[in-house]
A and B are shown apart, each in its own frame.
Chain A
Amino acid sequence: MSQDFLNLLIALAAVGLVLGWAYVTKRMQKDFSSTMTWVLIPVAIAINISIGQLVLVLKLPVYLDSIGTVLVGVLCGPWAGALTGALSNFVAGIIFDPGWWPWIPVAATIGLTAGLCANAGFFKTWWKVVVTGFLIAIAATIVGSPIAVLLGGISASGSSIITAFLLQTGKGILESVLTTNFLVEPIDKISTSLLAFAILDGLSARYLARFPRGENAQLDQQRRTSELVIALVTVVILVIVTIVFVVPLTNN
């Protein structure tokens, strides 16, 4: 227990250090320099929650509950994205049940990673967006797995059945949780990023330019339509792959 506590302290210190660095070097302030950021965040949270609920009702095998977070991360910067993710889970905790609150760090990581990738120019063409989605999935897994282990490894979500299955085959808790997340997260996060990309593609350049980091979303102009089609086809393929491979796995 004391070792866990020490690790928690180290993690908190690292987060504090990064936040302090971003504040001192004025990187954080740039994200929040425009009122547009503060107005976009509530809308993004509402998009997260509405689409997340809709997907839940349609019983699709993904969550898609962080499209708004990725949007803010790209348009306003990593720190605004992290804040959106955190507040999104906070508000979901107020509306649905406070069981959302342990996952605040994961949601914040998703927004942060999306913002960092977009700053590096990785939100301009569809294949770069796929890479971004994959990176987001890895970051979310790294942050989420310790929390899942802390909560005992098995939560009420559907993918826990995979974890339970792996545990029975004799793997450790951390290993099982990591494997489960590596199976589920990339499909979800790549679809999320591609949908966010499709939304950005539909918005006008004049509108995007009003955000602090609107230039991140200025897509490469060549073959825009064909790339959008490819992106949508990829989402459909990913959804079908999930239905074909993951759903039978959970049924066993």
Chain B
Amino acid sequence: MPCKTGLNAPLGRRENLETIIKVENLRKVYKIGTEKVIALGCVNLEIHKGEICCILGTSGSGKSTLLNMLAGLEKPTKGHIYIGKHDIPKLNEKQLAKLRQKQIGVVFQSYNLLPALTAQENVGLPLMFRGVSKAKRNKAAKEMLVHVGLGKRMKHKPTQMSGGQQQRVGIARAFVCKPQIVFADEPTGNLDTKTTKEVMDIMVGICRQYQMTLVLVTHDPSIAQYADRIVTLIDGAIVSDVENQSIAEPVYQEGAKAPAEGEQPAGEAQREAVDSAEQESKPEENQNPDTEHNGGVEE
């Protein structure tokens, strides 16, 4: 029985798109001692192919729980998550590993590079797990690193790199297999403003180039401006699910605040941020959002 959802998809255009992730009646309850904490009440969500979807929420809103369950890291208390034909909670470890190898890339907040390996080896890891030969994965890793602007740092270990560089290695690693879906959990949480912009530009750029689906989790509304669509979570429920009107120009708004819980509808908070972003954006970098978005769908 479907539960009461927060919002339906607001735009008709989206119905033409191929659904890649489908979340049905998702519920997650943690038991802490005798007390039950509801992390996710009842979430219904459809994410489409080629979409850059941002899940926005404060800490404790359940956004990370949702992402963890989407990526198969946690089992829901109730509900279904479909990626393609697979119902994620029902997969065993082996099937999950296969799915991750083929379809899923993950970017972490704390980069999570293996300290003993060089940048190139780190990027090659997912390929190694797939059983790709060393020569091939080195080549792919090199291409990817050049793509993220680290062509000259391939032999460096993570400890010899700055945070931004490390995250770029992390991005290269997530994208090296050309997965259909990339999950990014607060990818810029540990970075300063300038690096955040660099990293977001690279990530979104690659997604657009390969028509990948990106699920971006953040508490930062200005990061959300990079997305096509912004889903806002409060206390484990979707309170708004809107098409982002300002995706023409990915902009990072310095000092933007997350919507305070219960303060005002999340959608409005976003719009405010969008407006201010638009005012600052430079005209020559402005592109038609529809053209770009539709271009992704056609392929």
> Real complex partners, A and B?
no
Using a CB–CB cutoff of 8 Å, the interface residues on chain A facing chain B are none
